[in-house]
Amino acid sequence: GQNIDQPTEMTATEGAIVQINCTYQTSGFNGLFWYQQHAGEAPTFLSYNVLDGLEEKGRFSSFLSRSKGYSYLLLKELQMKDSASYLCAVSPPPSYIPTFGRGTSLIVHP
Amino acid sequence: DTAVSQTPKYLVTQMGNDKSIKCEQNLGHDTMYWYKQDSKKFLKIMFSYNNKELIINETVPNRFSPKSPDKAHLNLHINSLELGDSAVYFCASRAGGWREDYNEQFFGPGTRLTVL
């Protein structure tokens, strides 16, 4: 199957660091995506990991381990505006159907 | 300036009616999608088109019929609306062919459909 699992909800404090995990049961995909979706808005692209390891992009970093079927999104110096849902997604062959996790709702407290 | 646009943004209608949602992208992308996001926020693929051709139809009831008059447009027509069709519908587009999934998707603002 192509199950993608993420925690449903996480809470964190402004200024802190939070790690949002994503585990999947599929293989052969080109890369793994992370999207951010604020309430009432459309998902927007955050990151894409092809190779194993950490990709850093400002306050956000994303990690992939294909051997462990695992990815995480790391958010540093949390801001209130980071309160949103974070979705991981893959498009495994042969169908290349984009498959999203159910999303992790992150609540950032002052 | 809008990359992916959808109309209408809100749609409230009675059970049994037929309605359409329009989507347009001005990014020159070859691949377009329709997604349904339910009340639990699960984003599920419905259809994928590549250069006006249907690539993916994910076991969606045949009351839903996508139409792509050209590669910049992908419209969704829904017949005989049911209560369970209430959701937010997102259109998205991506550069490259349907196998070239290494490009990110750009989503439209969504259409919130409420069936009474």
Nearest neighbour of B43 by CB, restricted to A30, A87, A93:
A87
The verdict on a CB contact (< 8 Å) between A98 and B45 is yes
- The average pLDDT across B88-114 equals 92
Q: Is the pLDDT of residue B2 over 80?
A: no
- The average pLDDT across B26-51 equals 92
Pairing of strands A60-65, A53-57: antiparallel
Contact B28, B75 (CB under 8 A): no
**In B, which residues are within 8 Å of A49 by CB distance?**
none
pLDDT tens readout for residues B65-78: 999 999 999 999 99
Interface test with chain B among A3, A88, A96, by most B beta carbons within 10 Å: A96
Q: Nearest-CA distance from B80 to chain A in Å?
A: 26
pLDDT (0 to 100) of residue A1: 43
